[in-house]
Each structure stands twice: as C-alpha cells, then as structure tokens.
Amino acid sequence: THFGYKTIDADKKEDMVAGVFHSVAAKYDIMNDVMSFGIHRIWKRFTIESAAPRTGMKVLDLAGGTGDLTAKFSRIVGPTGQVTLADINDSMLKVGRDKLRDKGIVGNVNYVQANAEALPFPDNHFDIITIAFGLRNVTHKGAAIASMLRVLKPGGKLLILEFSKPQHDVMRKIYDLYSFKILPKMGKMITKDADSYEYLAESIRMHPDQETLKQMMTDAGFEQVSYTNMTDGIVALHKGYKF
C-alpha cells in the first residue's frame, strides 16, 4: 500500500484495533491534543452544536472512548436525560469513566462495552447518536451504520465525525507528510508505540471520502444526509436523520 505500510487484513483488523487502543488508552487524551494541535476540541464542539441536544434527551456516544463528547452531552441533557458511552475497548472505557467521574460527571451517564456492528440496545431508543473518530476502526461499517439506524428514534439524528479527504492538493501533501512521517515519530516519542500511530495514519488513508460515506448512510436508509468539511476536509461531519 502507500508508503509501504502493510495492508490491513479484515480478519485481523479487530485484534489490531483492540491492541492499538489498549496500548494508547492511558495517553490517548494528551496525544489527541498534541497531534491535532488542540483542534480536535473545535471539531468536537461543532459536533455538539450540530447535534443540538436538549434537556431530557437520550444520547448514544458510540466509540466514545475517553468521553469528550459524553461530558459535553451530559451537561446539556441534564438529570432527566441520559448519555450512554459505548465502546468496544475496556481500557478506553475505564480511562473515560475515571476521567468523567473525577470531573463530577455522574448520574446521567452509563457505560456499555459494545461493538458498533451489533448494538445491544432496543429499537427506536436514542434521540441522537454520535460516533467521533470511531467509524474508521470498525471492520463492517455498513453493519454498524445499519445498527445505528435501528436504535435511533424516528426523528433522531446520527452524526459521524471522522477524518476525510482534504480538498486541496497543497493541504493533501502537507497532511500526507504529517500523518505518514511525523505523526508516527511523535507517537513513538510520547507513547513508545510507533505501530499504533502507523495504524492510525493508514486507517485514515483507507477511510471512505466525504461522498462515499454520504452514499453509505443513504444506502443504509438515512435521510437528508449532508456533511460539513472542517480544516479543508481533513475532518468531515456527516449528519443524517431517521424518519
């Protein structure tokens, strides 16, 4: 593949993703800030604004990891609402739960270990589902999107925040250089784990671009699907409704 990295075999992908997130969990938050120069905070803030949560709503923060979005949702939906942080990885869940509890975010948050491909929730349950920087790690993305549609209430919305395709050549070149050359070195320096950050760069490269993901959501049955590019399309926020 590009730059000589290994192709990720679908069968092995799940084990690999598990290994990556067990390995980075403890340093995940600091790495996010360092690698994105803090910009992930802006991308996440925009996601919350687009989700437009209200008091009393039920929100699923899927692949919620260390809980950045969950923390914000929890404050907004209040004691009559409920935020479910679901993640496949128990190390990430533990770091997230400890962090949120330390911040005093308790009461309306619950934690569920679950695979996005087969969500253990009833039909028509959530008002909002977010999956931030999670979908590209999922092996069967179509199954995951269908599962999200099932557990969403009619009238509910799904927001997918994910790396996407930079819109301009110059940005694409800078970004490739950064993600394939600099990022794994930074990852190695901070976490002593270059492989995980090589995986990260490769998974970003392999992820469907804006239009492809939009089509996948539409094919799964989402309606009024649209997306917003951020930072020249390095990241895109896709939104779709269930009617």
Give residues in contact with ligand SAM (CB under 6 A). 17, 21, 63-66, 68, 87-89, 92, 115-117, 132-134, 137-138
What's the full length of the chain, in residues?
243
Shortest gap between Cβ of 215 and ligand SAM (angstroms)? 21
Ligand-binding annotation for 169, yes or no, is no
Query: Would you say 138 or 236 has its CB closer to ligand SAM?
Result: 138
Residue 237, token pair as written in the block: 């926020």
47 annotated to bind ligand: no
Least distance (Å) between residue 90 CB and ligand SAM: 9
Q: Looking at beta carbons only, is 137 or 179 nearer to ligand SAM?
A: 137
The residue among 84 and 137 lying less far from ligand SAM, judged by its C-beta, is 137
CA-CA distances (angstroms) from residue 176 to 74, 102, 137, 182?
36, 37, 19, 9
Distance in Å, CB of 61 to ligand SAM, minimum:
7
Closest CA to 85 of 59, 115, 107: 59
Q: Is 212 annotated as a binding residue?
A: no
Indicate the angle between helix axes 10-24 and 28-35, nearest 10 degrees: 100
Residue of minimal Cβ distance to ligand SAM: 65
Q: Within a 13 Å sphere around the CA of 42, how many CA atoms are in the beta-carbon half?
A: 9
- CA-closest candidate to residue 146, choices 175, 113, 176, 123: 123
Structure tokens of 19?
């290994």
Q: Is 115 annotated as a binding residue?
A: yes
Nearer to ligand SAM, 48 or 57 (CB): 48
Residues tagged in the binding site annotation: 66, 87, 115-116
Residues tagged in the binding site annotation for S-adenosyl-L-methionine: 66, 87, 115-116
